[in-house]
Structure 1
């Protein structure tokens, strides 16, 4: 990765952490977040979230969809539950989310895959009828996980902790943007937001290798006319680094 310029589009604080990891490998990170995560913060919103969490022990499964969901939830769980309720299944979608939960002392496990579809497939052998499931996420996320669980008889609720916004950039941002060798976009929403700006201010960027976390996001990127789309089979830094190294190795062969 020495000298490789990587455009990183993660929301904060993941963006900074990923840039640090790339710098440690000798790469040159270029920070351009394509999502702005804003936690719910009004007194009324926080009171409603705490009210939900006081009933946490009624659920058999708690599923966290992102690192941000994990971090924000654990802060509130610590307030409401000095000791974690027992007999629950804590699940993270993707290795990065699960690792974040483990670091925050939540005994979460993860499916071998890295997305909603893999989680649903992994849970196929598990009895879900009449099981209560809490999905921890941001407002307005994809409905696929809840729908898949409900079809199997689960009772699903959401704990929505943040809202996603598109950061504001101008033509000047892209005029002075260092030219990347590769781009990392770790969600469909990030790809969509990036495409909107690139189409408007710098269409040539669409010729840059775009690394995405899943086949679903890859298909989205291709439909938005990105010319080199590579699926890293995960959104964590390790998968993205490995996929980038493999791609660069092929170029040099």
Structure 2
């Protein structure tokens, strides 16, 4: 597998962490983040975030949609809550997000799966009725989770902590890359950005095997012309590594 290279499209710092994990297992990796995570800087927005975090004890459930949401939220919790409020159920979507929270001292639980869809299946509808739910995410995140919870009778609020941006790459970036044999993509938004660049600069990549985190994103990849899209059933390293080993027979 010496000449086998995996393109990692996670945003930083997760990109570096995944590459370190794969390197320890003997895999060669190439970084090409397809999302940039930018913390909010606007003074008025920061003041609104601070106010929401101070009121976080009013919620029955606080749901974190990503490791970035968890990491940035923990910084805010440290500033506003020397001791975490009691009576709040902290939930991470996926084991990676939950582990990030737990490493910061937040006693979070994780749904058995790794996606919004499996979280909705896991949460008991009866318990959600009249519950106050805070969804911690990036600006402009997917609305499905909140909409489904509201259908169950929950009162949903959002705490948006960062912006997601498309990285700015030039043609030379792609011409200088080594040959790639496999691609990891960990969100639908990353897939959209990657596909846009590939159509411009690397159309031959559309035949490469590409691992996606969920059935939804896998279907999206196939619709966008990725011939060999496979579902890893999770955006965490363990799920993607297991799928990589299956595909390569390693």
With structure 1 as the length reference, what TM-score do the two structures score?
0.96
Residue 101 of structure 1, CA deviation? 0.4
| Kept after mapping to 1: 8 A contact 2:90/2:106 | yes
Question: Structure 1 regions of 5+ residues with no counterpart?
Answer: none
| Kept after mapping to 1: 8 A contact 2:8/2:185 | yes
Instruction: Specify the alignment match of 2:173 in structure 1.
Output: 173
1:27 and 2:56 correspond: no
1-side partners of 2:79 and 2:39: how far apart?
Answer: 16
For residue 127 of structure 1, give the secondary structure of its aligned residue in structure 2. Answer: helix
1:214-233 alignment runs, 5 A limit: 214-233=214-233
Aligned pairs, number: 250
Residue 41 of structure 1, CA deviation? 2.1
Residue 42 of structure 1, CA deviation? 3.0
1:118 and 2:118 correspond: yes
Residue 88 of structure 1, CA deviation? 1.1
Instruction: Specify the alignment match of 1:66 in structure 2.
Output: 66
Q: CA RMSD in A?
A: 1.2
Residue 87 of structure 1, CA deviation? 1.2
| Kept after mapping to 1: 8 A contact 2:208/2:227 | yes
| Kept after mapping to 2: 8 A contact 1:93/1:114 | yes
Cα deviations across residues 40-85 of structure 1 (Å, max 9, x unaligned)? 1233222110111111110000000000000000100111111000
Residue 206 of structure 1, CA deviation? 0.8
| Kept after mapping to 2: 8 A contact 1:2/1:25 | no
Alpha-carbon spacing, 1:86–1:3, altered in 2? closer, same or farther (3 Å)? farther
With structure 2 as the length reference, what TM-score do the two structures score?
0.97
1:201-220 alignment runs, 5 A limit: 201-220=201-220
1:244 and 2:244 correspond: yes
| Kept after mapping to 2: 8 A contact 1:139/1:163 | yes
Decide which moves more: 94-103 or 40-49. 40-49
| Kept after mapping to 1: 8 A contact 2:125/2:152 | no
Question: Structure 2 regions of 5+ residues with no counterpart?
Answer: none
1:11 and 2:28 correspond: no
1:76-115 alignment runs, 5 A limit: 76-115=76-115
1-side partners of 2:176 and 2:28: how far apart?
Answer: 16
